[in-house]
Amino acid sequence: MNRRIFLLGSAAAAAAAGQTSSHAVGTGIIGVGNRGAYLLEGVLAQPNAKVVALCDVKPDRLDKAATAAARDNPSTYVDWRKLLDRRDVDAVFIASPPDLHSQMAVAALQAGKNVYCEKPIGITPEQVRAIVEAARKSNKVFVPGQQMRSFKQYVEAIRKIREGVIGEVAMLKAQRHASADLPHDGTSADWYFDVKRSGGYLIEQSVHNLDLCNWIIGSHPVRACGFGAIMLHRNDPPGRTIFDCGTLSYEYPGGIELSFTQNVFHPPHLPGGGQYIYVYGAKGAVDFIGTPTMYGPAEDSSPVVLAEKPQPDDPHAHIAAFYDSVINGAKPPADVTIGATAALTAILGHQAMTRRQVVEWTGMGVEL
């Protein structure tokens, strides 16, 4: 009895110190660069997770990550397949370059692992289809890194939009304008500027914005058309193949329209930069990003906040939700269908820009 009390006291002390218990979910992380390092921080913040394995092809990143996770004394690997071979790895985070997401996620699911896969889950329809099929055959949890699905203010704002606060949604106008490109000096991701590896700016980054638009509308687009180009960063860095700007029009069921633009050269002090989503309806419009706020059609109407950002706010809520799904069977805020729909929406837009023609959703051949 005394030994039992001692052990219980030790467990409580470990929990109070932020340590993981022996029953924590064994976790492996593939890719510990910029995004992977942030995911690692989120995993270490979970009381029910233990980092047992890390993988990266760059020794400096691997050493840095192992130091950050020293509490859990993880093993390190260069070959991601060896990480999947470990029986004590029950959950896998994938933060490799996008062209590898599908291959790694499929292998992890087939190995019986729960998977958190960074966005986009694929950069081609074939890659997306492979993940969808593997996830549906598996009895494990699959969560895409569409973390805005865990923003509580967006959940509440969309609920009110669905209830008709602005009437029937007619149109969305959205953009993702950056004040600078990623560094061209080789210090950033060396794969990013290769469209065959990243998928391009729309697929690699704007997939977040497009996912929010899909969520607001409650559907995916049926077709897209648009134009994209390399306007200011031609062959910069050398060999660059991703666009630095683009304009797109998406059509959704019921004739709802989405106008979307992106660029990486919007001066920081020029008005109208950054990211926004405007949602237009018969009774007004909503400025969605940040603190969703409704504006009525009358000139003398006052703005109405639809949902406040919760305080305190958990920056790793999406990761916490993943572990809740793994341990307790809770429904995750984003599943494989959401991840696939987001990726395919971006792929549809990319195909429209590169082909310079109207591209139909049905032409991608992925059943959701």
DSSP string, 12-73: HHHHHTTPPPTTSEEEEEE--SHHHHHHHHHHHT-TTEEEEEEE-S-HHHHHHHHHHTGGG-
Task: State which CATH number among 3.90.230.10, 3.40.50.2000, 3.30.360.10, 3.40.50.620 fits the domain covering 150-310+336-364.
Answer: 3.30.360.10
Residue 95: name the closest of 115, 71, 109 by CA: 115
Which tens digit of pLDDT belongs to each residue from 238-247?
999 999 999 9
What's the confidence (pLDDT) of residue 8? 33
Euclidean distance between CA atoms 92 and 111, whole angstroms = 11
Residue 108: name the closest of 141, 72, 147, 74 by CA: 141
What's the confidence (pLDDT) of residue 186? 73
8 Å CB contact between 339 and 212: no
What's the confidence (pLDDT) of residue 188? 64
pLDDT at 120 over 80: yes
What's the confidence (pLDDT) of residue 302? 95
What's the confidence (pLDDT) of residue 185? 82
The stretch 197-202 carries a mean pLDDT of 97
What's the confidence (pLDDT) of residue 117? 98
Which tens digit of pLDDT belongs to each residue from 200-238?
999 999 999 999 999 999 999 999 999 999 999 999 999
* Residues found in the chain: 368
Q: Which sequence spans correspond to the domains of the chain?
A: 2-148+321-328, 150-310+336-364
Euclidean distance between CA atoms 27 and 24, whole angstroms = 9
Euclidean distance between CA atoms 189 and 177, whole angstroms = 20
What's the confidence (pLDDT) of residue 23? 77
DSSP 259: E
Please, what is the average pLDDT of the chain?
Answer: 93
What's the confidence (pLDDT) of residue 16? 34
What's the confidence (pLDDT) of residue 191? 93
* C-alpha of 331 from chain center: 17
8 Å CB contact between 50 and 124: no
Kindly state the tokens that stand for 140: 């494990």
What's the confidence (pLDDT) of residue 4? 31
The stretch 287-300 carries a mean pLDDT of 95
pLDDT at 58 over 60: yes
What's the confidence (pLDDT) of residue 221? 98
Taking the CB of residue 206, how many other CB atoms lie within 10 A of it? 26
The stretch 142-146 carries a mean pLDDT of 98
What's the confidence (pLDDT) of residue 189? 73
Q: Where are the alpha helices (DSSP H) in the chain?
A: 2-16, 34-44, 59-68, 80-85, 101-110, 125-137, 152-162, 195-198, 201-204, 207-217, 317-328, 336-355
Euclidean distance between CA atoms 104 and 81, whole angstroms = 8
The stretch 21-40 carries a mean pLDDT of 91
* Spatial CB neighbours of 47, under 8 Å, sequence gap ≥ 6: 15, 18, 20, 21, 24
2-148+321-328 maps to CATH 3.40.50.720 = yes
What's the confidence (pLDDT) of residue 251? 98
pLDDT at 21 over 80: no
Which tens digit of pLDDT belongs to each residue from 162-189?
999 999 999 999 999 999 999 988 766 7
The stretch 125-132 carries a mean pLDDT of 98
Euclidean distance between CA atoms 293 and 278, whole angstroms = 10
Whether 2-148+321-328 shares its CATH topology with 150-310+336-364 is answered no
Strand bridging mode 293-295 / 304-305:
antiparallel
pLDDT at 14 over 50: no
